[in-house]
Each structure stands twice: as C-alpha cells, then as structure tokens.
Chains A and B, each alone.
Chain A
Amino acid sequence: MKNDPVDVLIIGAGASGAAVAWSLADTKMHILCLDQGGWMNPAEYPSTGRDWEAKFFGEWSSSPNVRKRPEDYPINDDNSPIKVVNYNAVGGSTVMYTAHWPRLHPSDFKVKTLDGVADDWPIDYDALTPFFEENDRMMGTSGLSGDPLSPLSHPPMPPQPLGLSGPLIGKAMNKLGWHWWPSDTTVATMDYEGRARCINLGHCTPACAQGAKASTDITYWPHAIRAGVEVKTHCRVREILTNDEGMATGVVYYDKDGVEQFQPAEVVIVACNGVGTPRLLLNSVSGKFPNGLANSSGLVGKNLMFHPYAQIYGYVAEPTDSNRAPPTCLWSKEWYDTDLSRGFVRGYGVQFVRGAGPVFEAVVSEQKGILPWGKDHHRVFRKLNGHRLGFSAICEDLPEEHNRVTLDPVLKDGHGIPAPRIDYTISENSRKMMDHALARGREVLEAAGATDLCVNSPIPWGGWHLLGTARMGTDPERSVVNEWGRSHDVKNLFIVDGSIFVTSGGVNPTSTIQALALYIADQMKQRLANLFD
C-alpha cells in the first residue's frame, strides 16, 4: 500500500527523533514520524502497583530480550560482555532511563588533538552550546549551576534534595579531597510545563508515573504535534528505498496490522539509536548500495561504543535513601580528563547511587552471595536493606572497528526483519580505566564507612548508551554522515541519533544526542534552499 508523500519522514520517536521533529515543525513542512512502539500509559507504570519491583525482572526489564513486548526486536548480544538495553515506544529509551543529564565536555570533541587517540569530531562543543541550553529548557532539567569541573549549564529548576545518601557521599568525597556535585537531571523538582514535580517515587528508571521525569512523549512530542507533526505508532520500518539517482524515496514499513506499506518522502531522517540505525541501513540493500545504505565507507555498524560501567557498592551503618528517591543525585568528574600516570588514556565520569528497594536488594544480594539462605537470612537482610551506597564509573569507550553491529543471519523479529548482532569486546584501555575506577570507588565507600563491598565490572545489563555506528566526519571514506548529519552517499538522508558520535566521552549521552539533533535540524533549516547540493 502506498501513502501520500511527506516532506520529511522521521524514523523513531525517541530522544533524537522527537527533538528534530519539534525543531523542524516551524518550517511548516509535512512531517511524519513512524515508531515501532506506541504511546505509553503512565497509569500502567510499575510504581502504581505493589509489585513494582518484580516488574523490572519481566515485562519492564530494560532488556528487550527479556521484556519481549511486541514492540521490541530481539538482539543477539551473545558475543558481548555488555548486553544492549533500550525501550521501544514513543519516547524511546527516555521512557526508561535514569534521567542523569551530564553533557559531553569540550575536550571530548577533540580527543585526537588532545590525546592522540581516536578522532576529533567535525564540530566542537561551542557549536552545540545553544542547543544544549534549548534542550535543557525543553526537557526541563534540574541542577545546580556552577560546577567547577563540568560545562556551564543553567538548569531551570533547583537540584534534587541531597536526602540521606547525598551527605554520606559528599562527606566521604570531601574527606578524600575529590570533586563531587549535584547532578543535572531531567527530574522536575518543581511543577514545570505541565509536568508535576518529583514526589520521590524512587523507581525512576522504568518510567515515572508522576510524569516528573522527562521523556519525550511528555516533553517534545506534545509541542511537535500541536505544531502539525504527525506520529504513526506501531509502524516498524524494514528498509529505506532509493532511486537510480541514489536518493532516498521513502521507506517500507509494517503497520499496526502487519500490513506492508510504502511511505514516500522527500527527506528521510533516521533516529533509531546506535543499534537500530545500522540495522536499518544494513537491511536497506539495493543494486546501487549492495553493502547497505550510506555505507560506502564500510563503517555502518562499526565503532560501536557502550561505555563499560565499573560499579562498586557497599553498605553503611546509617540509613540511606533506598528506593525513596531518584536513584542518582550526584556525580564526580574527578577522573574525567586524561592523566597518563593512571595507566590509561581518557577517563570516566562517576554517578553515585542512592540505594535500592527491598526486592532488588534481596535478589541481588543473594546472587552476590552476601545474603544467606536459612536462619541468618533475616539478620543479614536487615543489615543490608536500606543501607546501600553505590559508585558507578562511566568509562569512555574508544572507537574500535571490530566492535560492531551486523545483521544476524538467523535471528529475526516478529516481522521477519533480521535482528541486530553485536560483537563487542572491552579494550585493554577500558579495563585499566575500570580497575582504576573500582579502586577509587572502594576508597570512597570505605571513607563513608561501607562494608560488604560488591563489584559489577562491567555491569552486564549496562548497554544503555549505543554510540558510534554511523559516525560523523568530513571525510566520506572515514565517516557515514557529514558535519551536519547528512549522509555522504545519499543527499536526502540524515541521521540524528547516538550512532553519529565520533567518540563517547565518559558521561550519559542523551543530553548531547538531543543537542546534536537540534543542531542538525537547525543546519537543515539554514540550508533548505540547497539541502541536497
């Protein structure tokens, strides 16, 4: 079935798709967004029920392979120590994330110049500054301006309270003379743009029933739709088609009834994340593009970066916030920049964890072997529950071509589309960084008086950040898109998600992903008259 053509077709309604849709809406072009998921219903979010913690192990798992909702596609990540986690819906993985909101640092855009590794980005931090600010207003951020070791931001809302856990961490960091600061987050600490303020439901990651945590279904999308953007849900795109001139003509997708449709478009924008985007491009094979679309460089799917997480946690005598607060509240940039005396290049950011709920504590502690079976179970559980403090290092993952996304030859989704296959190893540099982080985390936790320290390195289900698989650059032989997000090979094809990252930095990337999407939309608007030249 063929639909009426649109000016702009956006594939994916998550973090970047929503931002680019909203920004382009003021052009008054006919813009359509297709998403494989649907609209979320906050009344069904886990924190509305007594079984809120159990749901995270099943239908609200962060892993699509565990969750297995009809909107999810399987991912073969057997050959990776880090498993992909995501969410598929309008809002994408902003429905299910911790809302931690650091930006990449200026130095992250110039790693080759500064440290002689990887590549510089074709743009710098200053080019993104106005878009970071615009995005912070749209998503609604909270935080405390003035962090001496982070890029200057101006969160429109005050920071989250320190609670019980924050001062324990702050005192320990002060004792050691190390940097810490309240995190910028997208948790609304006051009523903001129709969103109710945070009431500390605690279980933020698998969606916020209060609507205090920003997800694009409640931030960008209402604005974009009011401005005329159309969203079609439960539409899974199979491939992007091209004509003899090598221009994209539209996409083939399966609608909510499973019927194959063709959607013609003048411009196609891909916003499917660092796994979904290469999957789609590699599945868009034609005589003109036998190795997948936009892949003359051979780099589509390569250079996958995850951010290996090195986590250490322990238990203090004092009560912590447990599940009674957003899980993250503080960060540290003490080890963010390169110091070669540490034995590795680049660095890591730290996010501190306030605690965990009782079911999570019991399940994980039993698995770790610190919560026994039998008569001592109750005594030990009372020592652990409500006393956890955590230190998680987000280690910069440098691009390596052997870390990659390809199409699985066997595994397919419910529509018969090949599933992505992940081949990934943690580099020696990352291993050293992770070990360094664990040693520092141990010092911090011991300074806080914590005992029974446990380690997750890497966090196995920690593949939140999907980056680098369609990198940007000025050289068509060494990059997939140019410095404003347009494919080198297909002049009306744009990519706006985390796959265009050149390097990963050592922080959660969503803020930067969205700033980049707004930047690309702005570049497109400035070039509308000669967009395809």
Chain B
Amino acid sequence: MSGSNELTAAQRADLRTVAAMIVPESAEYRVPGADDPAVQADMLATLGRDTAPVAQALDLLAKLAGKPLAELDDAKRDAVAEQFRASGGAAAATLVRVVLQCYYRDDRVLRSLGLELRAPFPKGHVLQDGDWSLLDPVRARGGTLRRAT
C-alpha cells in the first residue's frame, strides 16, 4: 500500500525486523535495539512526509523476502538485506535514515553515548578557547596577496 499515510500491520512488522537488523540491542553498551517499542513508536508518529518512500521500501523488502522478514532464517534475511540495500535506491535510504534519526535521539541511546538529553537551544555548549600560539608559524611564514600590477 505504498503512498498511504499509514503503514499496514505487515509493513510495521517488517519495519521492526529490519530496524533490529540495522541497530540490534546491545547488552555491552546497555542500549535497546531500533526495534524497541518506544523507538518504533517515535518512527511511526513522526513518519510524516517520509511515509510514502518508507512504505515503498517496505514493499520492496516484502517482495524480496516473499514472506514476513521475521520468518526468514538469519542467512536468508541477510541476503535480502543485501539485495535491499543494493537495489532500494532513495526509498531504502529514507527507511534507513528514519530508523537512525529516531534511534539516535532516544534518551537511553543518548545517555549511553554520553550526550545530554536536550535540544541545543537555549543552553548551548561551551567551547575551549584553544591555543592561539599555534598561529605563530603561520604569522612567521607571512605571505603576500597576488595583484595585477
């Protein structure tokens, strides 16, 4: 049902599966996978203008898999993913981008990365002034501007 404003149940299921293939859960880094219900809910709630290309990408995935992605064994799923990335074009890129942009704003993920859970404004960030003596060699070399005489 490419082009609709909402994804079908089958498309949502495949989205969950492919999201976990892109970013799986990690005990080592204490982060959820991109199939986490909160991350998935964020994706579905904010799909907006990306709905049509994401649906198109999911249709392609379904076609390549022949059945729900979750029902394929790991090897077959990896093969489908490889085909999907090679042939999916802009729609596949949009799907991957949607997964990543929602995953990398999840509180648990940002915390794991040591990032603050906030918008940049209004607090901003503090920058070190840096060592301005690094410019001394540039000043010492000097130079002239080229001009027509």
A: which residues have CB within 8 A of B? 45, 47-54, 57-59, 105-107, 110, 113-114, 144, 146, 148-151, 160-164, 166-167, 170-171, 173-174, 177, 179-182, 198-203, 209-210, 321, 323-325, 337, 358-359, 362-363, 366-367, 373-375, 377-378, 382, 385
Is A366 a contact of B100 with CB atoms below 8 Å? yes
A325 to chain B, nearest CB (A): 5
Q: Is B137 an interface residue (CB 8 A)?
A: yes
CB pair B143–A50 under 8 Å, yes or no, is no
Residue positions of B touching A, CB distance < 8 A: 21-24, 26, 28-29, 31, 46, 48-50, 81, 93, 96-97, 100-105, 110, 113, 115, 117-132, 134-135, 137-139, 141-148
- In the bound complex, do residue B146 and residue A174 qualify as a contact, i.e. CB atoms below 8 Å apart? no
The answer to whether A385 touches B113, judged by C-beta atoms less than 8 angstroms apart, is yes
Give 14 pairs: A residue, B residue, CB < 8 Å, sorted on A.
Answer: A48-B121, A50-B118, A51-B105, A105-B145, A150-B145, A162-B134, A163-B130, A209-B122, A325-B125, A325-B127, A363-B96, A373-B22, A373-B23, A382-B113
- Enumerate chain A residues within 8 angstroms of B137, measured Cβ to Cβ: 174, 177
Given known contacts A375-B24, A377-B22, A378-B28, A50 and B127 CB-to-CB distance under 8 angstroms: no
CB-defined contacts of B148 to chain A, threshold 8 Å: 106-107, 110, 113-114
Task: Point out which of B115, B118, B123 has the most chain A C-beta atoms below 10 A from its C-beta.
Answer: B115
Contact A162/B132 with A50-B105, A146-B139, A359-B100 known, Cβ cut-off 8 Å: yes
Output the least CB separation between B15 and chain A (Å). 14
Min CB distance A368 to B, Å, is 12
A367 and B93 form a contact (CB under 8 A): yes
Q: Smallest Cβ distance from B48 to chain A, in angstroms?
A: 7
**Which partner residue on chain A sits nearest B105 by CB separation?**
A50
Contacts of A107 in B (CB 8 A): 145-148
Contact B130 A167 (CB under 8 A): yes
- Closest CB-CB distance, A361 to chain B, in whole Å? 8
**Which residues of chain B are within 8 angstroms of A203 by Cβ–Cβ distance?**
120
> Given the known A-B contacts A161-B130, A200-B126, A325-B125, are A148 and B29 also in contact in the complex, defined by CB atoms under 8 Å?
no
Kindly list chain B residues whose C-beta atoms are within 8 Å of the C-beta of A323.
120
Given A57-B101, A337-B146, A359-B101, verify A378-B29 contact (CB < 8 Å): yes
Least Cβ distance of A328 to chain B in Å? 13
- In the complex, what distance in Å separates the CA atom of A167 from the CA atom of B49? 41
Q: How far is the CB of A117 from chain B (nearest CB, A)?
A: 13
Q: Within 8 Å CB of B117, what residues of A?
A: 50
What distance in Å separates the Cβ of B132 from its nearest Cβ neighbour in chain A? Answer: 7
Determine if A359 and B105 form an interchain contact, defined as CB atoms under 8 angstroms apart. Answer: yes
Q: How far is the CA of A58 from the CA of B113 in the complex (A)?
A: 25
Q: Known pairs A54-B102, A363-B96; list 6 more (Cβ under 8 Å).
A: A160-B127, A161-B129, A163-B130, A174-B137, A182-B135, A358-B113
* Smallest beta-carbon distance A444→chain B, Å: 14
Q: Measured between C-beta atoms, what is the minimum distance from A216 to chain B in Å?
A: 21
Candidate in B93, B102, B121, B142 with the most chain A CB atoms within 10 angstroms: B121
Of the residues A54, A114, A167, A374, contact of B101 by C-beta under 8 Å: A54
